[in-house]
Amino acid sequence: MSWLEKRWYQPDVLIWLLLPLSLIFWLLSATRRWLFRLGIKRSIKVAAPVIVVGNISVGGNGKTPMVIRLCQLLKQQGFHPGVVSRGYGGKAPYYPYSLSMNSDPKLVGDEPVMMRHHIGCPMVVAPDRVRGAQYLIEQHKCNIIVCDDGLQHYRLARDIEILVMDGARRNGNGHLLPMGPLREGLWRMKTVDFVVVNGGVAQEGEYLMSLEPGQLVNVKYPSQTQSISELKRPAIAMAGIGNPERFFKLLATRQVKLKERLVFADHHPFKDGDIPDDLVLMTEKDAVKCRDFAKSQWWYLPVSAKLTEQFKQRLLEKIHGI
């Protein structure tokens, strides 16, 4: 975590030096919202219900596991969902770009590749979420759209908004970027349909989500799995995600002995030589970028989102009421 990010989650008077930049950020984002409210910029409604899953703070909040679990839930209810994502960090040759099970993270981003392996439904990356959603409806006959990380993409009209929040860090110091971690003010929490808290304690009106770890999966040989309890020696833990500390704490709760922690920037483009040829534990998001040069001693720990029955019931009621 950078010096600036640390200041977001602990008191520091020096952060006020960034006030002019935060005021500029506020002015730009507020102007953009008002352009949509006045009709100068137009939100476009597509021919299927749209559920947006996003956040108002930067960094790892648990949004990706939420999207995966949401798609699984929709399929169980008989829907044919499609997912549209920006594809952060990817450089696809054209957009919308459909993902397959073998899509290259360099083209579409690491999180979309990870999601595609679990959702079992069509998925595209498209910076213009409207075009992506329309493509899913027209080409794949999807009857409900899940928009990954599109809370601030107001051009796409939405029927349901789900805000995912880190239950431990929550909203940090409550300031807008770059003084704090917020993309939009705390007022935005009151306008969404659901606030889902990843870990920690859910406050009134919020819904709790927990991340449940599965079996360790070998990065080089994905058919090989083992229980965390089967590890015979201390390992190196590696994370290039928005909140690496969450991964390390998860390993600690499973009594994993670590001899070293390696932290990389979120979305780091791993290459051969970045990671030691040793017993290494990593996140699934990192693993999708390491498969081409993986060593047999590298393992990743998949996690799945567990949602409350109350949330699932209220969400389905909301969907059927559209």
Q: What is the average pLDDT across 60-76? A: 95
Per the annotation, binding residues for ATP are 57-64
Residue 242's pLDDT is what? Answer: 87
The stretches of the chain forming alpha helices (DSSP H) are 3-8, 19-37, 63-76, 105-108, 110-119, 129-140, 244-253, 284-287, 309-320
Provide the 3-class DSSP secondary structure of residue 218: strand
Query: Is the pLDDT score of 2 beyond 90?
Result: no
Q: Nearest 5°: phi and psi at 219? A: -65, -40
| C-alpha span between 211 and 256 (Å, rounded) | 17
The full set of domain ranges for the chain reads 8-210+306-320, 215-301
Provide the percentage of residues in the chain whose pLDDT is more than 90: 91
| C-alpha span between 268 and 271 (Å, rounded) | 9
Residue 52's pLDDT is what? Answer: 98
**Identity at 229, one-letter amino acid code:** S
CB atoms within 10 A of CB 122: 19
Query: Is the pLDDT score of 1 beyond 70?
Result: no
With the CA atoms of 99, 100, 104 and 106 taken in that order, what torsion angle do they form, in degrees rounded to the nearest 10?
10
Assess contact for 63 and 197: CB atoms under 8 A.
Answer: no
Q: What is the average pLDDT across 216-239? A: 95
- CATH number 1.25.40.20 given to 8-210+306-320: no
pLDDT, one tens digit per residue, over 248-301 is: 999 999 999 999 999 999 989 999 999 999 999 999 999 999 999 999 999 999
Res. 53 pLDDT band, cuts 50 70 90 = very high
Per the annotation, binding residues are 57-64
Report the mean per-residue pLDDT for the chain: 95
pLDDT, one tens digit per residue, over 78-116 is: 999 999 999 988 899 999 999 999 999 999 999 999 999
pTM of the entire predicted model: 0.94
| C-alpha span between 250 and 218 (Å, rounded) | 18
Residue 6's pLDDT is what? Answer: 85
Provide the percentage of residues in the chain whose pLDDT is more than 70: 100
